[in-house]
Amino acid sequence: MGYQKYDLAPLTHSIDQFLYSHLSSTWAFLAEMTLIGVVFLIFYAVIGLYLVLAERKVCAFMQNRIGPNRVGWFGVIQTIADLFKLLLKELITIRKADKLLFNIAPFIVIIASFLGIAAIPFAMGLHAIDFNIGIFYIMAVSSVGVVGILIAGWSSNNKYSLIGAMRSGAQIVSYELSVGLSLLVIVIYSGTLQLSTLVESQADAWWIIKGHIPAILAFFVFVTAGTAETNRGPFDLAEAESELTAGFHTEYSGIKFAFFFLAEYMNMFLVASVAATVFLGGWMPLHIPGMEGFNNAMDFIPPIVWYFGKTAFVIFLMMWIKWTFPRLRIDQLLNLEWKYLLPINLVNIVVVALIVLMGWYIK
């Protein structure tokens, strides 16, 4: 296939071989770990900061405004300036707060989102860990974040924070089901949990096209549940500005607040990445079976562009929803999950099993 000319595996393998040939295997392993860690840290910070800027620009666009345009060209260094402001702010310690838990909570939240990003295939051969249970792994680590939110709300010694944290707990535990079950639809189609294999199984066409109605349904359920899982509007009950002032992070200031803020955006990126990888083909270019010329033309666009393009599309979808809809109430939120999304998902899985058994999808 044409896209293989952009394969980055030789590059990563050559770095790997270079390290192992010049260092003892223990040191080479450690050097590799450090290298990947640093690369991810920089990637994380850059993506997080620019997602904040993107959100402000999209929100401004939705609200007939211009958005940040003073610091740098089109406000490109606005969020960096904001980050420095947050770094210089005082970290207020709350009297009668549980100090240890209060300080540990932002790290749990940010580590959970950090771990998830590691398993995403960004382009062909650009993949930090390729687990054979990749989807399962991402779901498992990303849901650890709720522990951090619960701890933050509990340890703040603030009633608003506590209500926010409890809401968040109920919400994330419920929507975890829908996220898992909607991904299961594509897992049944493709027969794999490994993300690299999953992407390669979409070489002829993306699963959202191949899997037709159940896949499209699963995609929308996933985006809805994913939005809920990242605590973003219209499901931002944990923060619910107009009700709980700022929810679980009311008492946090300075860089600890920034950690929560960054983690929210990275969770959004993670959800969008998974949606793009599982439903929209990840880094795989758009291929239509039987149209060789078109497929070859699409292959000229590098996989990394495809990956970021698709992720950006899903992120825009989530921002669009956030800046258009009013917020749900907690009982309506749980009703939506347990009475609508979950039954839809379960029926969808039975239908998919039948479709796969009968072979009624585009192979």
Partner 1 sequence: MSEEKKVIVELDENPEYIINMGPQHPSTHGVLRFEVSLQGETVKYLIPHCGYIHRGIEKMCESLTYPQIIHLTDRLDYLSAHMNNEAVSLCVEKALDIEVPERVKYIRSILSELNRIASHQLWWCAFGMDLGGLTCFFYGLRDREKILDIFEESCGSRLLHSFVVPGGLMHDVHPNFKQSIRDFIKYFRKLLPEYDTLLTGNVIFQNRTRDLGIMSKETAINYGITGPSGRASGFACDVRKVEPYSAYPYIDFKEILYTEGDTFHRYKARMDEMWESMVILEKLLDKMPDGNDYTAKMKPVIKLPEGEYFQRVETARGELGVYIVSDGNKTPYRLKLRTPNFSNLFVMNKLTAGYKIADLVAISGSLDLVIPDIDR
Residues at the contact surface with partner 1, assessed by CB under 8 A: 59, 62-65, 159-160, 163, 167, 233-234, 236-237, 240-245, 323-332
Closest separation between CB of residue 241 and partner 1, Å? Answer: 6
Please identify, using beta-carbon distances, which residue of 221 and 352 lies nearer to partner 1. Answer: 221
Closest separation between CB of residue 182 and partner 1, Å? Answer: 21
Please identify, using beta-carbon distances, which residue of 89 and 327 lies nearer to partner 1. Answer: 327
The residue ranges of DSSP E strands in 195-336, in sequence order, are: none
Q: Whole-angstrom Cα distance, residue 83 to residue 51?
A: 13
**Which residues, 6+ apart, have CB-to-CB distance to 104 below 8 Å?**
148, 151
Please identify, using beta-carbon distances, which residue of 57 and 210 lies nearer to partner 1. Answer: 57
Please identify, using beta-carbon distances, which residue of 276 and 333 lies nearer to partner 1. Answer: 333
From the list 125, 107, 115, 96, the residue with the least C-alpha distance to 15 is: 125
Closest separation between CB of residue 258 and partner 1, Å? Answer: 21
Please identify, using beta-carbon distances, which residue of 11 and 66 lies nearer to partner 1. Answer: 66
Closest separation between CB of residue 244 and partner 1, Å? Answer: 8
Closest separation between CB of residue 62 and partner 1, Å? Answer: 5
Burial class (CB in 10 A: 0-12, 13-18, 19+), 105: buried
Closest separation between CB of residue 64 and partner 1, Å? Answer: 6
Please identify, using beta-carbon distances, which residue of 97 and 163 lies nearer to partner 1. Answer: 163
Cβ–Cβ < 8 Å for 251, 158: yes
Q: Whole-angstrom Cα distance, residue 246 to residue 161?
A: 8
End-to-end CA distance of the chain: 17
Cβ–Cβ < 8 Å for 189, 210: yes
Cβ–Cβ < 8 Å for 277, 124: no
**Burial state string for 287-300 with b = 16 or more CB within 10 A and e = fewer than 16:** beeeeeeebeebbe
Q: Which two tokens stand for residue 145?
A: 């974040």
Closest separation between CB of residue 243 and partner 1, Å? Answer: 5
Please identify, using beta-carbon distances, which residue of 156 and 194 lies nearer to partner 1. Answer: 156
